[in-house]
Every structure is written in C-alpha cells, then in structure tokens.
Structure 1
Amino acid sequence: MTAPYDPSDREKVVAKLPAELRKELKVRAAELGKDIQDAVTEGVEAWRRAKSLAAVDTSGGTSFATYLPAGLYGELKKDCTARKISYNQGIAQSIRVWLDSHPSPRPKPPRVTGARRIIFGNQKGGVGKTSVSAGVAQALAESGHRTLLIDFDPQGHLTKQLGYELLGIDDASLAKHMLSEAKGELSELLVPIKGGDFEEHLWLLPACKDSFLLDAKLATSRSVRIKETALEKALEGLEQDFDYILVDCPPSLGYSMDTALYYCRTRDGEEENTSGIVIPVLAEDSSADAYDMLFDQIQDLSEDMELDIAMLGFVVNMYDSRKGYVATSSLDEWQNIGEPPVLAIVPELKDQREAVRVKQPLLVHAPYGEQSEVMRTIARRISA
C-alpha cells in the first residue's frame, strides 16, 4: 500500500511536552540509533492504529519540536479532533506508544577502560573544533551519558563561549596537573554546564592561560615519555566517573597534540573505534592540507610507539553549497576518502553564532534547530 504522504516532504511541528517525556524520547532514540523525527513518525503511525489509549500527563510541558511528513501531520490533527483530545495530548500519546513498543536495549557490559575518550583535532584554526566538540558533548549528555568536556586550548574559546571564566594564571589547572605542579585533585576544577535536557550529566574542565607554556615545558621534561603520557596520567582519576571524556584540542601539531593523540589511542582490551579522534574540517583546500599534516603526525606517533589511533571520521563544518564549486567539489573529496568517513555535514546557519553571542550551549539556545540535530547525529554515530 502506498503511504498517503511523501516521507521526504516534512514540516516542522511544535508541541508542549513534559521534560521527562522529552528526555526519555531522546535517550531511547540515541540508544536505538534512530533519528528523533523518525521515532515520532513511527509513534504517530502506531497511535493512529491504536484504540483506547491512556492519557499522558502533559502538565508543566515546555516546547518540543520535530518534523513529520506533511500528509501525516494533517491526519494527526484530524484524528485528535475526532478523539476529542488536544494536539499536545496526541503527540504525547504517540511518543508514549513508540517508547512502550521500543524498550531500551540491554545494558552493555562495563568497559574495563572506563570512559570513552574522544578528541577533536585539526591544526588549522577556525574549522569549528570548539563548536563541534561542545555540541557533541551536549548531545551525549542529553542522551543520559555522564560527559566531561575539556578545554585543552590555551585560547579558551570553549570556556568563554559557555559563559565561564578561564582559570587564573596562578591557579591549579590541567596543564599544572600534567606537569605535576598542582596541589589538590583535578576534579575540584570541574564545573557543571547547566540547561537543557543534559543538566546534571555534563561538566566542563575550563582552560587556563598557562597552557601556552605547556609545549615548552613538555619539550624540556627529563622524562622521555612524559610528553606523550602526561594528559592520560592527569585524567586517570576522572575516568571512572564519566562515560565520555571529550577534548577540544588546540590548533597545533606540538607536544600537546601528541599527548591528546596518545590519550585517545585504542587501549589493550578496548574495542576498536571506542575511542579516537574526530576531525572537523571545512569544504575548502586549506583544510585538506591541514589534514595531510595531521595524518602524518598520527602515523608517526603510531609507528614510533606502536599505537592504534582510530580516526573516527570527519565533520564537514559550516557547509554552504551556495559558495559554489569550491565548496561542493571539496565536499565530494571528503566523502570520497571513504575511511575515515564523513560523520556529518554541519550547515552554515546563525544558531551557533547566536549561541556563542549569548554564551549559551547550542542545544539550549536552539534545541530543535538543524545544527543541534546534526550534533545528535554525530553523537549517535560515535557512540554506536
């Protein structure tokens, strides 16, 4: 039978839903590797066939948006009228039907290595390492994962964009802990990132200006291996407290980047592609040149220390096909590499710039925007 609507022709729908139902939907969709709009579509279709459904408590609901096929959206409104229920109640019941028919998969056995470690690296500045790492961290936390986001760039853009102050030059910091120059526990420096459906699941380790000195101090260290292992040793005590640790790396090919690459290597007993590097790029030639140099660094470190460093994929950021042949042909080249794959294409939109301007996380400022949905897609793909 032919569907009475074109699934490729979708329109935005907005409803008021309680926070717990929204969160349950996002977590379950992430667990099952399904787009939220597809989950809601399946729920609406099942709801239309179902009879005598219990009401869902929608009191205290806040805005929820998704996309339904245009024809299905119209049928849903007609059915709500026929059943004498509100449109909000119809959407809520549809989501409840989908959740009840798609139980959470069995939890995976605990990993012996603790947190999965994902770094975001590219020595070219301005490609969006900060925005992508922050957005993916928010999406992972929104799905119920305890997530730590680390600002490893001495410029501190991530810290400032989220509305926090950089650590003082004389304060304890990640760099000082890496060099065994700090007192106290590194966990004392973590701050919670509040807002959205990720609250109580996301923390930030802020940057400190002293990180500018890190490469020089690592270079003069007497320990042969401290250059590579320093970040891992500093973060070791935090790993059992988190499901994911994400690192926003500096635009550098120096010793700091070596420590980050070593940190995201595949450890003994760890499944392939559990940890690794995500590479944000732009659809233009300079990103390709920068990737060539990063690739060489990864290969050299892997060979010198006999490591397996998984390149999880590219994220083509700030893409706009209206820029013409340079953008479209460059995108084709990224996609034609094959391995590592292109995880997602982030469109050039105002949402991220506005979020930075108002110092809010992207998934708080524009939770149902296209860029936020892409961040959820990346999170789903690297956590599969």
Structure 2
Amino acid sequence: MPESGARAGTGLAEATEREFPVPTPLDGHGPARIIAMANQKGGVGKTTTTINLGAALAEYGRRVLLVDFDPQGAASAGLGINAHELDRTIYNLLMEPRSDVREIIERTTVENLDVVPANIDLSAAEVQLVNEVAREQALARVLRPVQDDYDVILIDCQPSLGLLTVNALAAAHGVLIPLEAEFFALRGVALLVETIEKVQERINPRLRIDGILATMVDLRTLHSREVIERVQQAFGEKVFDTMISRTVKFPDASVASEPITSYAPSHPGAEAYRRLARELVARGDAA
C-alpha cells in the first residue's frame, strides 16, 4: 500500500518527491496567519486535517489555535474536549460583542495547541447573526485580541457555504481545501471557489486559496489516480505535493481523542501531516 504523501502511480506524471525542510525555531510568536479549512461537502477530511495539521505545526514549535466552527463539535471532541458540558463556547463569543475569547480557550494535551470549542449551540448563530450589523465580521472580531498570541489559527468550517463559513473566510488570510479523491467531490469545488472569490471582492481582499489537499487517496486504484490528475490539471501549483492516504488509523485516533501524531506517531498518516506542515511553512503560508 502506498504511504501517505506519495505521488507515484500509473497515470500520474513521474516526479521525484520533494522534501521540505524542518521549520526553523521561532524567536517569538505572532501575529498569526489565519487559515480556514473549507469544503461544503462533508466527509472529506476537514476536521481530521485541522486537528492533525495543527498538532504537526505545534510539534515544530508553532503556537496554534484551533477554532471549532462546526456545530457538530468534532474538532473539540477529537482533542478530548466535551464541549456539550461547557457553559460558554464560540457561540457566546459571536453573540456577545464584549466577551473575551481568552475566557473560553481550552488547553489540549498537545503542547502549543489550544482550541476554541463549539457545540450544537453554534447552529443558532447562523439565524441570529442575519440581523446583526457587520454580520460577516463577527468571527474576525472574536479572534482579533489573540492574533498576536499565536503563529497559526486554523478554523474548522462546517460543511456548508452559509453565513458561518462566510465568517471564517472573512476572518482568514488563506483557505485550505481538503478534497476527497473521488469524482463527486470534484463537482462542488467550483462553487466553493466562486464563494471564495465573492468574499475576496466584497469583504476580504487579502483572502487567497492556499492550496488543495488530496485526502482519502488510494493510488492503487485507477479512480484515485484519475481524480488526482484532474485536480492537478485544474489547479496546478495550488495542489499540495503532500497527499493523505486512506487509513483506519484516523478514525481510531478520533475515538482516542488524540491527533494521529501522538496516537500513532510513526504511522505514515502522522508522517504525511508533518510533511504537510513543513510544506505549508515552505510555501510561506505559515510561520
């Protein structure tokens, strides 16, 4: 079975796999680059990527804040936080302009990795924000006070293109799009790119697409290889060199409420996310 991160296989252009250097230690922290993890299709690896990329960057000495921006609260649960028992979450911050995000930030078992938790309450925010002034800027306001405390802020978006996702795009510097290596997943990317372009034009001119990350890849299958080729043809250099292979270790790590980097540190999936972290830094999309 090919290891995560491989780019070999019949039908793919032969290329030597680039190596990305281990990031140099930082002299200080902040201001953070904010990255939204977005795709309106569910089950493509957004939360898995947010958790494991965050943990990998933290391993390299980066201070990382993970913002759970999905009412399902999967990112919170995946880091061992039972958000359903919390009195205050990201929802309260969105609805209370004078609240301080520092009051609800939760530490995780991973050094340098913190999380702003979410639970089902967040589902009400989409409706309640509709009548608010500057409703698209609510999350940007929430994050502003802690931007200098972190090197990277990762926002785990819900699988939709509604007001919450627009808030994430309005707050972000870049968008990372996890894309499952299957044809149906390709169909929605054009709509997502269109939404990103609208946010660029109307709300957040600094926003850009950092890259497309192929997930759930199995290069043994012709289907996976053909999808990867199509993505590379459509997006060129925007496609990350790193790919994430399909493996049962990711759901196992989720059940254990740990990133794969600590649950199975030597597993190819853990190595793939470390490689993605190095590639992100090498591209200049993270400190």
Q: What's the offset of the Cα at 1:253?
A: 0.2
**Superposition RMSD on alpha carbons, in Å?**
2.3
Q: Within 2, Cα distance between the matches of 1:139 and 1:306? A: 28
From the superposition, tell whether residues 29 and 383 of structure 1 become closer, same or farther in structure 2 (CA, over 3 Å).
Answer: closer
Q: Within 2, Cα distance between the matches of 1:140 and 1:320? A: 25
Match of 2:39?
122
For 1:206, the aligned partner's letter is P
Q: What's the offset of the Cα at 1:110?
A: 7.7
Q: What's the offset of the Cα at 1:263?
A: 0.8
Kept in 2, the 8 Å contact 1:159–1:207? The answer is yes
Report the 3-state secondary structure (helix = DSSP H, G, I; strand = E; otherwise coil) of the residue aligned with 1:319.
coil
Match of 1:269?
none
Q: Given the alignment of the two structures, is residue 228 of structure 1 paired with residue 136 of structure 2, yes or no?
A: yes
Q: Given the alignment of the two structures, is residue 192 of structure 1 paired with residue 107 of structure 2, yes or no?
A: yes
Q: 2:72 aligns with which of 152, 155, 164?
A: 155
Superposition TM-score, scaled by structure 1 size: 0.64
Q: Given the alignment of the two structures, is residue 243 of structure 1 paired with residue 151 of structure 2, yes or no?
A: yes
Question: 1:238-317, aligned counterparts within 5 Å?
Answer: 238-265=146-173, 276-305=174-203, 307-317=205-215
Q: Within 2, Cα distance between the matches of 1:254 and 1:373? A: 34
Q: Within 2, Cα distance between the matches of 1:306 and 1:155? A: 27
Match of 1:203?
114
Match of 1:213?
124
Q: 2:232 aligns with which of 331, 335, 348?
A: 335
Match of 2:285?
none
Q: Within 1, Cα distance between the matches of 2:140 and 2:181? A: 32
Q: What's the offset of the Cα at 1:326?
A: 2.1
Q: Within 2, Cα distance between the matches of 1:229 and 1:368? A: 40
Q: What's the offset of the Cα at 1:29?
A: 5.1
Q: Within 2, Cα distance between the matches of 1:29 and 1:311? A: 22
Q: Deviations over 1:116-159 (max 9, x none)?
A: 11111100000000001111100111001111111110011111
Q: Deviations over 1:315-341 (max 9, x none)?
A: 11111123x332210011112220422
Kept in 1, the 8 Å contact 2:214–2:228? The answer is yes
Q: Within 2, Cα distance between the matches of 1:335 and 1:317? A: 14
Match of 2:61?
144
Report the 3-state secondary structure (helix = DSSP H, G, I; strand = E; otherwise coil) of the residue aligned with 1:372.
helix
Q: Within 2, Cα distance between the matches of 1:110 and 1:357? A: 32
Superposition TM-score, scaled by structure 2 size: 0.85
For 1:175, the aligned partner's letter is Y
For 1:236, the aligned partner's letter is R
Report the 3-state secondary structure (helix = DSSP H, G, I; strand = E; otherwise coil) of the residue aligned with 1:347.
coil
Q: Given the alignment of the two structures, is residue 365 of structure 1 paired with residue 263 of structure 2, yes or no?
A: yes
From the superposition, tell whether residues 232 and 252 of structure 1 become closer, same or farther in structure 2 (CA, over 3 Å).
Answer: same
Q: What's the offset of the Cα at 1:372?
A: 0.8
Q: What's the offset of the Cα at 1:167?
A: 4.4
Q: How many residues align?
A: 263
User: Which 5+ residue runs of structure 1 have no aligned equivalent?
Assistant: 1-27, 33-103, 266-275
Kept in 1, the 8 Å contact 2:37–2:178? The answer is yes
Q: Within 1, Cα distance between the matches of 2:197 and 2:240? A: 20
For 2:107, the aligned partner's letter is P
Kept in 2, the 8 Å contact 1:168–1:209? The answer is no
Question: 1:33-48, aligned counterparts within 5 Å?
Answer: none
Higher relative contact order (CA 8 A, sep 6+): 2
User: Which 5+ residue runs of structure 2 have no aligned equivalent?
Assistant: 1-19, 283-287
